[in-house]
């Protein structure tokens, strides 16, 4: 019988796909859940639910009892209505709570989900696992702190640790790219800057295969892997591909990016004291400014990671799913 695994973040996009796939592959899957009403699909699939929160270590100890491998996917990612402290509580302190509880409950392997965002902007693309840290906003900083904690435990030898850094995750079930699809469909998308910045996507099914390799391959232990698609594309190409998938022609309008960046900064300054989420913020503007392109040779060579979904197909399938759900 395959061992018991715990997936955190299973009520979210990535964790949800991962939990269902592990379940299909015959693992006994337990999901750490804050709100059971968000986990009906997991329950219906026979996945065991356990209540817990990254900020509450006692709940994590209970969730980790008897677990062989943890896939720690949960994080606070969306900036809306979230303070910097909330980010650190989940993405850094929450990671420490998870590791402490995992060591105390004799978990064998801990697969930690980081992000390519720990590198921030890649100065000489493509980067790789050795590209220096350069987080560019407080989400990325909190994830970098979380990764540092994971490395501390990796080096301690108290349990087997694997860290992976995904690129921009997309596919059915995602809602982060929905806004972009919608604005392109409504012909409201404006390109700020040249559109030549590099972006790297990873289709959810490819990523899930990579995560499971991190959780099962002996060679993975003690390593960090970038898991993203094979190709990086320009923002112009991404927008054109989405436009094709939603049956529109991309607009040619391009505006300079720096005024938008400073407007984002001003919005953050004004909105922060009132606890309002800013309509524009620098992190969103960075989408138009920063190159994020990486090699995935290490994961291909050591794990046999093979992301097969081409952007055109993945974007088409994502658009179809948005349409089926009545979102687009
Ligand atoms: N999406 C991307 O493009 C991308 C790129 C690189 C890296 N990543 C990383 O990939 C992971 C998954 O991202 P995603 O887009 O799939 O995220 P998501 O859909 O926003 O899901 C986040 C999950 O984390 C859970 N969570 C948040 N705070 C928690 C807490 N205090 N205690 C317990 N659970 C908590 C959420 O639970 P609730 O349902 O209760 O809110 C949800 O299940 C994250 O670690 C993220 O940093 C994402």
d(CA 81, ligand 1 centre) in Å: 15
H helices of 25-137, where? 40-44, 57-64, 84-88, 94-104
d(CA 11, ligand 1 centre) in Å: 8
Q: Name which residue sits closest to atom 15 of ligand 1, judged by CA.
A: 13
Give the CATH number of the domain where residue 215 resides.
3.40.50.720
pLDDT tops 70 at residue 20: yes
- Label residue 145 by pLDDT band (50, 70, 90): very high
Greater confidence, 190 or 272? 190
Average pLDDT over residues 34-60: 98
H helices of the chain, where? 13-24, 40-44, 57-64, 84-88, 94-104, 138-156, 178-185, 204-216, 235-245, 258-271, 282-286, 297-303, 311-324
Give pTM, 2 decimals: 0.95
pLDDT tops 80 at residue 212: yes
Q: At what angle do helices 94-104 and 138-156 cross, to 10 degrees?
A: 20
- Label residue 78 by pLDDT band (50, 70, 90): low
pLDDT at 85: 92
pLDDT at 160: 98
Direct distance between the N- and C-terminal alpha carbons of the chain, in angstroms, rounded to an integer: 42
Which residues neighbour 157 within 8 Å (Cβ) at sequence distance 6 or greater? none
Determine the atom of ligand 1 nearest the C-alpha atom of 175: 19
In a domain, 215, yes or no: yes
- Label residue 80 by pLDDT band (50, 70, 90): low
Taking the CA atoms of residue 282, residue 288, residue 291 and residue 296 in that order, the dihedral angle to the nearest 10 degrees is: 100
Q: Name which residue sits closest to atom 26 of ligand 1, judged by CA.
A: 74
Distance, in Å, from the CA atom of 286 to the CA atom of 112, rounded to the nearest integer, reads: 25
Average pLDDT over residues 164-180: 96
pLDDT tops 80 at residue 277: no
CB of 38 closer than 6 angstroms to any ligand 1 atom: yes
d(CA 74, ligand 1 centre) in Å: 4
Distance, in Å, from the CA atom of 22 to the CA atom of 147, rounded to the nearest integer, reads: 24
Average pLDDT over residues 246-271: 86
pLDDT at 234: 96
Pocket test for ligand 1, best of 8, 9, 58, 179 (most atoms within 8 A of CB): 9
In a domain, 306, yes or no: no
Please state, for a pLDDT cut of 70, what percent of the chain lies above it. Answer: 99
In a domain, 60, yes or no: yes
Distance, in Å, from the CA atom of 145 to the CA atom of 95, rounded to the nearest integer, reads: 9
Domain residues for the domain of 100 are 4-174+201-230
Kindly give the pairing relationship between strand 233-234 and strand 198-199: antiparallel
- Label residue 79 by pLDDT band (50, 70, 90): low
Length of the chain (residues):
328
pLDDT at 29: 98
Number of domains making up the chain: 1
Q: Name which residue sits closest to atom 39 of ligand 1, judged by CA.
A: 11
Average pLDDT over residues 94-102: 98
Q: Is 116 within 8 Å of 228 (Cβ atoms)?
A: yes
In a domain, 313, yes or no: no
Average pLDDT over residues 163-190: 95
CB of 168 closer than 6 angstroms to any ligand 1 atom: yes
pLDDT tops 70 at residue 273: yes
- State the burial class of residue 118 (Cβ atoms within 10 Å of its Cβ: 0-12, 13-18, 19+): buried
Look up residue 79 and give its two tokens.
């900036």
d(CA 148, ligand 1 centre) in Å: 18
- Label residue 283 by pLDDT band (50, 70, 90): confident
In a domain, 247, yes or no: no
Average pLDDT over residues 220-244: 96
Judged by DSSP in three states, 70 sits in: strand
Which residues neighbour 210 within 8 Å (Cβ) at sequence distance 6 or greater? 164, 202, 225, 227, 299, 303, 305, 307
d(CA 259, ligand 1 centre) in Å: 31
pLDDT tops 80 at residue 196: yes
Distance, in Å, from the CA atom of 246 to the CA atom of 168, rounded to the nearest integer, reads: 20
CB of 75 closer than 6 angstroms to any ligand 1 atom: yes
Average pLDDT over residues 128-137: 94
d(CA 16, ligand 1 centre) in Å: 10
Distance, in Å, from the CA atom of 134 to the CA atom of 115, rounded to the nearest integer, reads: 12
In a domain, 223, yes or no: yes
pLDDT at 93: 98
Scan for tokens 């960046």, then name that residue: 261
In a domain, 54, yes or no: yes
Q: What are phi and psi of 21, to 5 degrees?
A: -65, -45
Pocket test for ligand 1, best of 8, 43, 57, 73 (most atoms within 8 A of CB): 73
Question: What are the counts of helices (DSSP H) followed by strands (DSSP E) for the chain?
Answer: 13, 13
In a domain, 89, yes or no: yes
């Amino acid at each position: 019988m395959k061992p018991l695994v715990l997936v955190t973040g299973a009520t979210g996009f990535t964790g949800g796909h991962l939990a269902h796939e592990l379940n299909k592959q015959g693992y006994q899957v337990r999901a750490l859940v804050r709100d059971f009403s968000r986990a009906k699909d997991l329950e219906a699939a026979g996945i065991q639910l356990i209540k817990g929160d990254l900020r509450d270590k006692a709940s994590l100890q209970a969730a980790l009892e008897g677990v062989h491998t943890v896939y720690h996917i949960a994080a606070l990612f969306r900036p809306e209505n979230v303070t910097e402290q909330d980010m650190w509580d989940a993405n850094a302190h929450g990671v420490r709570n998870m590791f402490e509880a995992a060591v105390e409950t004799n978990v064998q392997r801990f697969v930690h989900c980081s992000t390519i965002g720990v590198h921030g902007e890649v100065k000489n693309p493509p980067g790789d696992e050795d590209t220096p840290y350069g987080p560019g906003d407080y989400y990325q900083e909190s994830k970098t702190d979380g990764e540092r904690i994971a490395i501390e435990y990796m080096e301690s030898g108290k349990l087997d640790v694997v860290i992976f850094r995904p690129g921009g995750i997309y596919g059915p079930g995602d809602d982060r790219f929905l806004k972009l699809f919608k604005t392109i469909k409504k012909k409201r998308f404006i390109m700020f800057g040249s559109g030549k910045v590099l972006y790297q996507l990873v289709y959810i099914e490819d990523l899930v295969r990579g995560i499971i390799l991190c959780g099962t391959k002996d060679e993975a232990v003690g390593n960090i892997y970038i898991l993203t698609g094979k190709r990086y594309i320009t923002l112009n190409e991404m927008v054109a591909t989405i436009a094709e998938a939603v049956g529109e022609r991309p607009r040619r309008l391009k505006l300079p990016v720096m005024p938008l960046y400073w407007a984002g900064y001003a919005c953050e300054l004004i909105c922060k004291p009132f606890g309002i989420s800013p309509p524009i913020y620098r992190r969103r503007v960075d989408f138009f400014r920063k190159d994020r392109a990486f090699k995935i040779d290490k994961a291909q060579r050591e794990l046999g990671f093979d992301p097969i979904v081409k952007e055109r197909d993945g974007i088409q399938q994502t658009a179809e799913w948005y349409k089926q759900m009545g979102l687009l």
